[in-house]
Chain A
Amino acid sequence: MSAELKQFEEGFQQEMREGNRGLHYEESLLWEKEYSERSGVDLPQSSGIAVRTGLPERGDIGLPQVSEPQALRHFVRMSTWNYSIDHGFFPLGSCTMKHNPRLNEKAARFAGFSHIHPMQPVSTVQGALELMYELQNWLGTLTGLPGVCLTPSAGAHGELAGLMTIRRAHEVQGNTARKVVLIPDSAHGTNPATAVMCGFTVRNIPTGPDGRLTVEAFKEALYKGDENGADIAGMMVTNPNTCGLFERHIVEIADLLHKAGGYFYCDGANFNALVGRVRPADFGVDVMHINLHKTFSTPHGGGGPGSGPICCTEELAAYMPVPTVVKKGDDYIFETKEDRETSLGTLKAFQGQFGMFVRALSYIMSHGADGLAQVSGDAVLSANYIMAKLSEDYHVPFEGPCMHECLLTDKKQKSFNVTTLDIAKALIEYGYHPMTVYFPLVLSGTMLIEPTETESKDAVDRFIETMRQIAQDAQNKGEAYFHALPQSSPRKRLDEVKAARNPVLKWKAS
């Protein structure tokens, strides 16, 4: 490196907060910018009348201020540091990062959808109720579970709605002694957290040697507290499970559970493998949630908003949350707690994440019954293809076929001191978003790869090549090479220990 370039580099590091090089941007926090006299909005002048709030007027808040072009540039520059599904392959297992059609965004922004108020007289929002009714109908048909409540805000909220439905059913039926929820050890963290929030205690079911539940282990858990399972409220099972496998024995397990008087809650995060081909009602599910932000492609938005409607049997529909939309003659109306007294009540103000309903219905209508069956089929095919192609270079812990995602571990790479974390960071270096890492927790160093149906074979092949290259590198280049990755991303590895030890959670004047 020439002396000038070295000097430039050093200067660049110091100047990093606003500088840029090529298309690598740096961007300061809003508070570090010069306070602009101009705000980024032009509002009508206020008349300055005396306030009628009964309280003193607020003094200086200390907010930053920039003009519109400065604000826009700020966020556009920051956006360039993000990886997204529109950038490339995003095989984040359990998260279903599929293409997000822009038609859905457009529809959600029709004034008749975006500028309506949840407490408007229903006569003035019949189109909104019609849309909800249609979506309820689709979800009920696809799951075989006719009771649909759209309100939950995301998957975890749907879990809560579902478990509360079960709790309420037992309560109304006088089974207040049922306090235990059975949850496989492969479950997502939201499952046990939800069960506790709902006032239940959690009993784990160990995963069998083939990555699936065994009837024996299930029975042991079921009858552990009482020989008839009289303490069991229900079970929460993700199917396909978080190892990407369909629970082979699920029908038998569901039968045993039902005989013991428990209900089957299905975490529907992995519904993308089943949609249009398998109805969860047909393998014994009583109630499940669906992540509209996974299977039905409402965008993840860098962490939400999601939407987690629940679907349940006719029996449980009496207890699920209100409101739901029903049709009376030609009119759509809400069924409320007054109409359905056995309902557990309300879990969120108003009707739910309506904007997500519009996007999901737009996605569903575009695919139709035929397209949705192709969605699941293609997703499953692609995951199996990846598993087959990577089975020599990586450890495949469980025999397939897998469903819409495949599980690998770092067992082979560990002998070179290269771990799942290193593989993930190497993928970043090669221009990919990594797969889900260290989840599920049933084995060490898991990598969960979910390609989704919206990737071409060419894109999948290139990813496979990259993964093979990384496996080679693990043998040839050694751990030091990996530990320094990524090198080319906007930031190198970040110090998470420092962040937690000395939390800085907001801007502070230094």
Chain B
Amino acid sequence: MRYLPLSKNAHDEMLEEVGASRIRDLYKDVPSSALLDDIVDMPHHKGEIEVERELSAMAAKNRSAGDGPFFLGAGVYYHHVPASVDYIIQRSEFLTAYTPYQPEIAQGTLQAVFEFQSFIAQLTGQDIANASLYDGSTACVEAALMAMRITKRRKVSIGTPLHPEYRKVLDSYMGNLGDVEIVDGEPDEETACVIVQSPDFLGNPHAYDLWRKRCDETGALLVVVITEIVSLGLLPAPSEADIVCGEAQSIGIPMSYGGPHLGFFACREKFLRQMPGRLCGMTEDADGRRGFVLTLSTREQHIRRDKATSNICTNQGLCALAFTVHMSLLGETGVRQLARLNHEKACALADALEKIKGVEIENKNFFNEFVVSLPKPANQIVDELVTLDIIGGLALDGNRLLVCATEMTRDEDIERLVTALRKVL
């Protein structure tokens, strides 16, 4: 096996040194009832050619987004990832490093995390951001938990249509605690936070001023959830919020069937000590030279144990790096241009769909996705579109279909969708 360098000779020498006659002797603390006599009944090792062949055969059974028209969004987006991003994240120095526990030999990772935190804080209009969380759905839970710690209240309001997967995750986590109420609507005097997704699950962008006012009146925190972070290049920053969190997969990270993606978490400085997850801070070394370290870890599990703000340890480090590289390539003008391009593609899609008889666009406003109502059940249409090699969007309830366009959407994709819909409706 090419990954295992210990030779027969090495085995013999090492066994002699430890005073064992065979490796099995080293397992003497394992009760014999738990020590297998033989290797498990599964296939034996395979060479690189064979493994590559088998895995690419599995991959070939999947319809990938680049194979044809693709209009699915709903919290995971098909965007372009520049080649440089993937090159940087595959560099050994980043890919095969551990969490930067020894800062003297991890400044590359640490400076990148510092830049990531800076990018997130700027995009969200918040004071501070952490080094990442697992994904948007768990980030949303962490925001609610943090709001409950701060306000000492046990009620969470959902202000705008929240991604149904996020809602399910929120329900499961809160179910643990037994006494947390999750309700739809406006906050009141018992509410820890109101969660406002924007653009919401149905694609509608929201202003925050009225939510801010309600929160100030009731003492609830305003949590803004973003699932399409590219939107922040066009929509106003949610700077009124107390916490902004969500999913940053759209910048630098492929869809990869749902993960690994990139949870982000930003908030106001006054909540710093209640934040979940790792933080990277600037400092100096013994010679007074600037450097970076993981900091404020007295919030975290390895110091605080059962009193930690969260149990998270390993986060999404390399995905945060991909985001940071992509952001640095985009720059100020690139981010804004990318956002605009997404919006314009979605406008073109809306204009084209609206011309089909019986099809209506439900949204007055949108960023890069919106709901269309069809004259037939949407799930049936999605299946029929698959037979025409079109991934048509997400079927919602009844006749409603959630569709999305990004910079990857071509005019001919839209034409094919329109033609196909005319055929199947």
Contact A51 B343 (CB under 8 A): yes
How does the 8 Å CB contact mask read for B316-340 relative to A, with 1 for contact and 0 for none? Answer: 1111110001011111111111101
Of the listed stretches B189-197, B272-280, B413-421, chain A binds B272-280
Q: Given the complex of chains A and B, what is the CA–CA distance between A285 and B70 in angstroms? A: 45
Q: Given the complex of chains A and B, what is the CA–CA distance between A457 and B40 in angstroms? A: 27
Contact B168 A193 (CB under 8 A): no
- A104 CB, nearest partner CB in chain B, Å: 9
Which of A52, A81, A106, A499 meets B365, CB within 8 Å? A52
Contact A103 B234 (CB under 8 A): no
Contact B306 A202 (CB under 8 A): yes
Which of A101, A113, A389, A486 meets B3, CB within 8 Å? A101
Contact A350 B82 (CB under 8 A): no
Contact B4 A375 (CB under 8 A): yes
Interface status of A172 (Cβ within 8 A of chain B) = no
Q: Which residue of A lies closest to B315 (CB)?
A: A304
Interface status of B285 (Cβ within 8 A of chain A) = yes
Contact B6 A453 (CB under 8 A): yes
- B414 CB, nearest partner CB in chain A, Å: 15
Interface status of A23 (Cβ within 8 A of chain B) = no
Q: Report chain B residues within 8 Å CB of A361.
A: 55
Q: Which residue of B lies closest to A269 (CB)?
A: B313
Q: Given the complex of chains A and B, what is the CA–CA distance between A347 and B48 in angstroms? A: 35
- A277 CB, nearest partner CB in chain B, Å: 6
Which of B75, B279, B285, B327 meets A491, CB within 8 Å? B285
Interface status of B182 (Cβ within 8 A of chain A) = no
Q: Report chain A residues within 8 Å CB of B284.
A: 494-495, 498
Within 8 A of A (CB), among B208-250: 232-237
Which of A103, A248, A355 meets B256, CB within 8 Å? A355
Q: Given the complex of chains A and B, what is the CA–CA distance between A428 and B106 in angstroms? A: 11
Contact B119 A346 (CB under 8 A): no
Interface status of B300 (Cβ within 8 A of chain A) = yes
Interface status of B386 (Cβ within 8 A of chain A) = yes
Q: Report chain B residues within 8 Å CB of A321.
A: 172
Interface status of B412 (Cβ within 8 A of chain A) = no
Interface status of A442 (Cβ within 8 A of chain B) = no
How does the 8 Å CB contact mask read for B1-43 relative to A, with 1 for contact and 0 for none? Answer: 1011111001101110111100101111111011110011111
Which of B55, B132, B163 meets A362, CB within 8 Å? B55
Which of A68, A105, A346, A491 meets B103, CB within 8 Å? A491
- A431 CB, nearest partner CB in chain B, Å: 9
Interface status of B311 (Cβ within 8 A of chain A) = yes
Q: Report chain B residues within 8 Å CB of A262.
A: none
Interface status of B398 (Cβ within 8 A of chain A) = no
How does the 8 Å CB contact mask read for A96-115 relative to B, with 1 for contact and 0 for none? Answer: 01011101011111111111
Number of interface residues of A (CB under 8 A): 199
Q: Report chain B residues within 8 Å CB of A120.
A: 63, 72, 391
Contact A156 B314 (CB under 8 A): yes
Interface status of B99 (Cβ within 8 A of chain A) = yes
Contact B3 A367 (CB under 8 A): yes
How does the 8 Å CB contact mask read for B372-389 relative to A, with 1 for contact and 0 for none? Answer: 000000000011001000
Given known contacts A121-B386, A401-B28, is B328 in contact with A113 (CB within 8 Å)?
A: no
How does the 8 Å CB contact mask read for A347-363 relative to B, with 1 for contact and 0 for none? Answer: 11111111110100110
Contact A503 B366 (CB under 8 A): no
Interface status of A500 (Cβ within 8 A of chain B) = yes
Q: Report chain B residues within 8 Å CB of A393.
A: none
How many of chain B's residues touch chain A, expressed as a range? 35 or more
Q: Given the complex of chains A and B, what is the CA–CA distance between A305 and B260 in angstroms? A: 6
Interface status of B88 (Cβ within 8 A of chain A) = yes
- B247 CB, nearest partner CB in chain A, Å: 8
Q: Which residue of A lies closest to B231 (CB)?
A: A53
- A291 CB, nearest partner CB in chain B, Å: 8
Contact B58 A76 (CB under 8 A): no
Contact B108 A347 (CB under 8 A): no
- A381 CB, nearest partner CB in chain B, Å: 5
Q: Which residue of B lies closest to A385 (CB)?
A: B14
Contact A505 B26 (CB under 8 A): no
Q: Given the complex of chains A and B, what is the CA–CA distance between A85 and B94 in angstroms? A: 10
- A215 CB, nearest partner CB in chain B, Å: 13
Interface status of A198 (Cβ within 8 A of chain B) = yes
Contact A44 B341 (CB under 8 A): yes
Which of A13, A189, A301, A351 meets B259, CB within 8 Å? A351
Which of B104, B175, B287, B317 meets A305, CB within 8 Å? B317
Interface status of A116 (Cβ within 8 A of chain B) = yes
Which of A47, A278, A350 meets B165, CB within 8 Å? A350
Contact A124 B96 (CB under 8 A): no
Q: Given the complex of chains A and B, what is the CA–CA distance between A507 and B111 in angstroms? A: 11
Interface status of B152 (Cβ within 8 A of chain A) = no
How does the 8 Å CB contact mask read for A309-352 relative to B, with 1 for contact and 0 for none? Answer: 00000000000010000000000000001000000111111111
How does the 8 Å CB contact mask read for B283-316 relative to A, with 1 for contact and 0 for none? Answer: 1111101111101101011111111101111111
Interface status of A412 (Cβ within 8 A of chain B) = no
Given known contacts A120-B391, A121-B382, A156-B301, is B366 in contact with A362 (CB within 8 Å)?
A: no
Which of B112, B289, B301, B365 meets A53, CB within 8 Å? B365
Q: Report chain B residues within 8 Å CB of A278.
A: 27, 30, 34-36
Interface status of B158 (Cβ within 8 A of chain A) = no
Interface status of B148 (Cβ within 8 A of chain A) = no
Q: Given the complex of chains A and B, what is the CA–CA distance between A506 and B281 in angstroms? A: 8
Interface status of B100 (Cβ within 8 A of chain A) = yes
Q: Report chain B residues within 8 Å CB of A475.
A: none
Q: Which residue of B lies closest to A387 (CB)?
A: B18
Contact A489 B340 (CB under 8 A): no
Q: Given the complex of chains A and B, what is the CA–CA distance between A95 and B98 in angstroms? A: 8
- A216 CB, nearest partner CB in chain B, Å: 18
Q: Report chain B residues within 8 Å CB of A276.
A: 36, 39-40
Contact A127 B58 (CB under 8 A): yes
Residue with the greatest number of chain A CB neighbours at <10 A, chosen from B94, B300, B407:
B94
Which of B42, B62, B285 meets A126, CB within 8 Å? B62
Q: Given the complex of chains A and B, what is the CA–CA distance between A283 and B27 in angstroms? A: 13
Q: Which residue of B lies closest to A306 (CB)?
A: B314
- A466 CB, nearest partner CB in chain B, Å: 15
Interface status of A230 (Cβ within 8 A of chain B) = no
Q: Report chain A residues within 8 Å CB of B62.
A: 112-113, 116, 124-128
Interface status of A4 (Cβ within 8 A of chain B) = no
Q: Given the complex of chains A and B, what is the CA–CA distance between A56 and B17 in angstroms? A: 73
Contact A153 B129 (CB under 8 A): no
Q: Given the complex of chains A and B, what is the CA–CA distance between A386 and B253 in angstroms? A: 40
Q: Which residue of B lies closest to A59 (CB)?
A: B236
Contact B332 A61 (CB under 8 A): yes
Within 8 A of A (CB), among B94-147: 94-109, 111-115, 117-119, 121-123, 128-129, 131-132, 134-138
Within 8 A of B (CB), among A36-68: 36, 39-41, 43-44, 46-47, 49, 51-58, 60-66, 68
- A479 CB, nearest partner CB in chain B, Å: 15
Contact A347 B14 (CB under 8 A): no
- A135 CB, nearest partner CB in chain B, Å: 11
Contact A345 B175 (CB under 8 A): yes
Which of A189, A372, A428 meets B304, CB within 8 Å? A189
Interface status of A154 (Cβ within 8 A of chain B) = yes
Contact B343 A52 (CB under 8 A): yes
Given known contacts A41-B330, A116-B255, A279-B36, is B18 in contact with A197 (CB within 8 Å)?
A: no
- A324 CB, nearest partner CB in chain B, Å: 14
Contact A494 B96 (CB under 8 A): no
Q: Given the complex of chains A and B, what is the CA–CA distance between A16 and B386 in angstroms? A: 57
Interface status of B424 (Cβ within 8 A of chain A) = no
Q: List 16 additional contacts besides A53-B234, A75-B328; criterion CB under 8 Å.
A: A29-B115, A52-B366, A66-B331, A71-B84, A76-B91, A78-B112, A84-B94, A112-B64, A115-B65, A127-B62, A303-B132, A344-B175, A373-B39, A455-B5, A493-B104, A504-B282
12 A-B contacts, Cβ less than 8 Å apart?
A58-B232, A83-B102, A112-B59, A119-B72, A128-B62, A188-B302, A189-B313, A278-B36, A305-B317, A371-B45, A380-B26, A490-B104
Closest 7 CB pairs of A and B: A303-B317, A301-B318, A112-B59, A65-B331, A350-B258, A118-B258, A127-B61
